[in-house]
Structure 1
Amino acid sequence: MARAEETRSWEFDPAIVVENDIRDHQGNLIAARGQRVNPLATSGLSKKLVFVDGDDPAEIEWALGHGSDERAKIIFVDGSPFESMKTHQRRFYFDQEGKLSSHFGITRTPALVEAKGDLLLITEKAIPRRQS
């Protein structure tokens, strides 16, 4: 995935339209066919999602600035989260096959996903980098 050369943001609506009735284990209707359901309306997004190239130290440092493990999930789109977990003594995650970044339309890193009411605000952020 490419580095963000300029900062850009957009809103993402996570709502879906239910294709079939959804019922719980007792047969109670949870959502009716055709109903629009937004998961943020009921459960919210408890942590920021921070997407980074795990091979880029500048992106990892930027991500670490977005909060503790309880406040932000740092998700690698490249690199080894296991080595970084040892170094930084916190959890890191990996975007398997780019499914999450593709779902949100993220094409550049670092990127931040955070709740904004019933929407998600996605920002690909241009950050300062050291010259080699």
Structure 2
Amino acid sequence: MVACLAASTVAARDYGQLGTTTPVIEPDLLAAIEARLLAAQASGKIAAMNKTLAARTEAKVKRPPPVEGLSPTTAVRSWTYDPTITVGSDISDHRGNLIIPKGRKVNPLDTVSLRQSLVFIDADDAAQLRWAIKSTTVLNAKLILTGGSPFTVMKAEQRRVFFDQGGKLVAKFGIRHTPAVVEQAGHVLKVTEVVPPRAAARREAAL
């Protein structure tokens, strides 16, 4: 018992101040960030960064990155694409009435027709663009670019065009060459890679 008390007394002894002490000061992270932002704003760096970002965004919108992996069509190739899907879960109306049960196969072409063909072209290829403009109309086809500037085409031809961002459509249909045409054939879609007449004539002349 005496030994325990002695140990307790030693542990509680005040040895006094052994060295200089200073308060611990931690910088406010948010304040530091705010100070840097204010400095960048004052120097014009933020305005310059915003201007650069806006210019890059505008350029990408006016001329999206071309779809990779495509080349001009040199031989006609045709196949069919079945748009039928299998419903992954029950589909009900707003009242809870079952419309389509899970597992049922549904073909959109059974209820909705593809009234306009989809024409895929690389607008940077003058032959493809010329062929598409001359062989289609606004009423019977939608022009979908895989390369080139949609804004340039719309301004020059006074016709609305689209762009296959990221090549999602050509990948879905299995298109490897342009021009290519997708059109309805009964309950499936017929996909055809087309050789523009002038391109075909040049190839025959070379042979």
TM range (shorter): over 0.9
Higher RCO structure (Cα 8 Å, ≥6 apart): 1
3-state DSSP of counterpart to 1:65: helix
Q: How far off is 1:48 after superposition?
A: 0.3
Question: What is the percent sequence identity of the aligned residues?
Answer: 47
Partners of 2:86 and 2:164 in 1: CA distance: 25
Alignment of 1:7-86 (within 5 A): 7-86=76-155
Partners of 1:101 and 1:22 in 2: CA distance: 29
Normalised by the size of structure 1, how large is the TM-score? 0.93
Which one has a larger percent strand, Structure 1 or Structure 2? Answer: 1
Partner of residue 184, structure 2:
115
Change (3 A) 1:24 1:85: same
Change (3 A) 1:26 1:64: farther
Partners of 1:43 and 1:31 in 2: CA distance: 16
Alignment of 1:78-97 (within 5 A): 78-97=147-166
Partners of 2:142 and 2:162 in 1: CA distance: 7
Matched residues, number: 131
1:11 counterpart letter in structure 2: T
Q: Is the 8 A contact 1:66 1:72 kept in 2?
A: no
Which one has a larger percent helix, Structure 1 or Structure 2? Answer: 2
Partners of 1:79 and 1:100 in 2: CA distance: 17
The unaligned stretches of length 5 or more in structure 1 are none
Partners of 1:113 and 1:17 in 2: CA distance: 22
2:125 counterpart letter in structure 1: D
Normalised by the size of structure 2, how large is the TM-score? 0.60
Change (3 A) 1:28 1:87: same
RMSD: 1.4
Segment of structure 1 superposing worse, 3-12 or 20-29 = 20-29
Partners of 2:135 and 2:168 in 1: CA distance: 22
